[in-house]
Structure 1
Amino acid sequence: MDLVARLKLSVPLIQAPMAGTSTPGMAAAVSNAGALGSIAVGTLTPQAAARDIAQVRAATDRAFNVNLFVHAPPGTDPAREAAWLDALRPLFTAFGAQPPIALETIYPTFSGNAEMLSTLVDLAPPVISFHFGLPDAGAVAALKSAGCVLLATATSPDEALLAKEAGIDALVAQGWEAGGHRGMFDPTAPDDRLGTMALTRLLVSRSGMPVIAAGGIMDGHGIRAALDLGAIAAQLGTAFVACPESSADEAYRTALAGVAAQHTTMLDAISGRPARCLANRFTTFADTASLPPVAAYPRAYHAGKALNAVAKAAGEGGFGAQWAGQGAPLSRPVPAADLVALLAEELAASR
């Protein structure tokens, strides 16, 4: 499949779907500029997902991507969750608050979510992408019958093979450098931590599928490197966080523009799954010796979001999920359409 031609992209670029940061306005601006804009609906209800898809469609007649989380449903572990809440208690106390009495599963997985599947089949967005795993064969068949192009994150050749066998159309090769949540299908399995360059080349040479490189890419030169490795496009997320269309708060933007951008770290303490974040007060806490095991994803995120809320109310922005990749110091705070144009210029100049 010539995915770039099918989607009528003039720039081989995907704006990464960043839950809590990307917006319908950003996705539409990126798509209108000739790349593929994305929204993330993995944390939303089907009704909210339909609302966001409608907002994108109202602002562009070009292709866009809708992203979903396909993680294993979390079990409850009362003892582990209580220990994790106790570990967080001093942080809450410092802001005159208490942690949640008990953790909750704050959003469901797409796996087995019949209502979300029905909504997506009815609305048939041009592209749908999956993170953390793959939906079942019935969901894949239904979405493809609706005309959707399907993408899936792969962090290893084994995950790429599973995606190919499932009928996915193209792979997003997520390197260790990438910001945000690591897309491993099984976060408890050994992780070879393959970098974007090595992973992209492995998947291009061995998977027999179109590959989109993701992780640490911030400019047109990085996109050119991905294309030279055989990728059909590059996916950039951190590059778009500072755009005015993103929903990043002021603390996130300030951290991204400062020294914290030079010290990203992978941690599971915020949400319960490994994710790369700017250095902040939560990453410092995560380095504390003898912390108990983090509660499961996304139940741990219930506590992480609650802590961020009470900290922000007290004027402290350093406990947020400030996801960013290793290329964060190259961030440029310009409107999304201008950034796409700039990336295209850099790509053309790098031939």
Structure 2
Amino acid sequence: MLAGLNLDVPIIQAPMAGVSTPVLAASVCNAGALGSIGVGATDADGARAMIDELKGLTDRPFNVNVFTHNTPTPDQEREAAWLDFLAPRFREFGATPPASLRTIYQSFNSDKDMLRLLLEMRPAVVSFHFGLPDQDVIAALKQAGIMLFATATSLAEAQLIERAGIDAIVAQGIEAGGHRGMFDPAAPDDGLGTFALVRLLVRHCKLPVIAAGGIMDGAGIAAALKLGAVAAQLGTAFVSCPESAADDAYRAALTGEGAHHTRLTSLISGRPARALANRFTALADSAQGQAAVPDYPIAYDAGKALHAAAKAKGEFGFGAQWAGQGAPLSRAMTAAELVKTLVKEMKQAGL
């Protein structure tokens, strides 16, 4: 298990920015696992409010996740072409596309206020997604006594993480819901599955490996641990918990046909991410050769605007309904009940 965190069970609830809440994370922590919140979609003030709320609900360790993507370079021509492509969908709901697109999320790499906040609040764990911050930032966080995780989708990324002095590697397989943690989304992606990636990293890296992607029950956790992982990170499994921020349409979609056909797409946000099959993911075929998707998170500004226009007319098929390939295995129960169930299933699987 991860030394220093004193977890009762080797389970981590994935950060899931926009879906995970302080209440969800605290419930997971209080059940003996590691709860997480994602602050990549908010600023330092928003993050402070989330951390304060979480600290008021648990005295156990928790994880705060940040996005470390490269700051995009605006491309007005490319963005205008993308809005033109989406225009018919906006018109379907009596709306017009935004006049222009914004960089709606600031990367942690350039957010000094967020760094100062984390150094002040000192959560037990800070995790990085989409790459790594500068070495001086890593050093400052470690000096503050914070344990650091980082996501890898390949052995090459894991080796960069190890050399940077990070404490543990989150091995994210292609099955995982939400955004791929690739350092460079334009680079070739071998699409390694969770278990193949875990074995590669366990064999070639010295750091603890956390398995992430497609794991939905105790049998899956047990399998990951038997392959050498020290813990398993589950995201989609917790979306149906009442403590998550998922709306009713998202929850319903997890039990629908789209859960059996998750799709990896860049259309919604500008970076590859796995979502439930819906009307937005279905645009991938028509978009090919028509218009280039703007960089993350600029494209997300358009995606959120389209979802808002559709939702106002009662259409929920343009939401960012992130989910992994194990989505059909989702179960609706409280976070505490889910952790308890997972532990029981792990024991049944021989752990």
Structure 2 equivalent of residue 193 of structure 1: 191
Q: Aligned AA for 2:59? A: D
1:129 aligns with 2:157: no
1:165 deviation in Å? 1.0
Task: Give CA-to-partner distance per residue, 1:8-31, whole Å, 9 cap, x none.
Answer: 111100000001110000000000
Paired with 1:36 and 1:255, the residues of 2 have a C-alpha distance of: 27
Residue of 198, 207, 210 corresponding to 2:208: 210
Q: Aligned AA for 1:322? A: Q
Structure 2 stretches lacking a partner, 5+ long: none
Task: Give CA-to-partner distance per residue, 1:42-78, whole Å, 9 cap, x none.
Answer: 1111011011001111000001000000000000111
2:229 match: secondary structure: coil
Paired with 1:69 and 1:248, the residues of 2 have a C-alpha distance of: 20
Residue of 104, 123, 126 corresponding to 1:106: 104
Paired with 2:312 and 2:325, the residues of 1 have a C-alpha distance of: 29
Structure 1 equivalent of residue 47 of structure 2: 49
Residue of 25, 28, 34 corresponding to 1:27: 25
Task: Give CA-to-partner distance per residue, 1:258-292, whole Å, 9 cap, x none.
Answer: 11100000000000000000000101122215331
Structure 1 equivalent of residue 303 of structure 2: 304
Q: Aligned AA for 1:141? A: A
Q: Any residues of structure 2 matched to 1:86-235 within 5 Å, and which?
A: 86-235=84-233
Structure 1 equivalent of residue 284 of structure 2: 286
2:148 match: secondary structure: strand
1:142 deviation in Å? 0.8
Q: Aligned AA for 2:167? A: D
1:115 deviation in Å? 1.1
Q: After the TM superposition, which parts of structure 1 deviate over 6 Å for at least 4 consecutive aligned residues? A: none
Task: Give CA-to-partner distance per residue, 1:188-216, whole Å, 9 cap, x none.
Answer: 00111000010000001101110000000
Q: Aligned AA for 2:11? A: L
1:79 deviation in Å? 1.0
TM-score by length of 1: 0.98
1:283 match: secondary structure: coil
Task: Give CA-to-partner distance per residue, 1:280-318, whole Å, 9 cap, x none.
Answer: 010112221533110110000000000101111111111
1:342 aligns with 2:341: yes
Paired with 2:236 and 2:208, the residues of 1 have a C-alpha distance of: 23
Aligned residues: 349
Q: Aligned AA for 1:342? A: T
1:319 aligns with 2:306: no
Residue of 228, 242, 249 corresponding to 2:247: 249
Paired with 1:100 and 1:112, the residues of 2 have a C-alpha distance of: 26
1:158 match: secondary structure: helix
Structure 1 equivalent of residue 260 of structure 2: 262
Structure 2 equivalent of residue 69 of structure 1: 67
TM-score by length of 2: 0.98
Paired with 2:304 and 2:151, the residues of 1 have a C-alpha distance of: 25
Task: Give CA-to-partner distance per residue, 1:175-197, whole Å, 9 cap, x none.
Answer: 00000000000000011100001
1:348 deviation in Å? 1.1
1:112 deviation in Å? 2.7
1:159 deviation in Å? 0.4
1:326 match: secondary structure: coil
Paired with 2:45 and 2:255, the residues of 1 have a C-alpha distance of: 35
1:10 aligns with 2:8: yes
CA RMSD of aligned residues (A): 0.8
2:282 match: secondary structure: helix
Task: Give CA-to-partner distance per residue, 1:310-349, whole Å, 9 cap, x none.
Answer: 1111111110000000000000000001000000000011
Q: Aligned AA for 1:348? A: K
Q: Aligned AA for 1:244? A: P
Task: Give CA-to-partner distance per residue, 1:213-267, whole Å, 9 cap, x none.
Answer: 0000000000001001100000000000000001111111111011110000000
Identity of aligned residues (%): 62
Structure 2 equivalent of residue 38 of structure 1: 36
1:225 match: secondary structure: helix
1:102 deviation in Å? 0.5
1:117 deviation in Å? 0.5
Paired with 2:124 and 2:207, the residues of 1 have a C-alpha distance of: 19
Paired with 1:139 and 1:339, the residues of 2 have a C-alpha distance of: 35
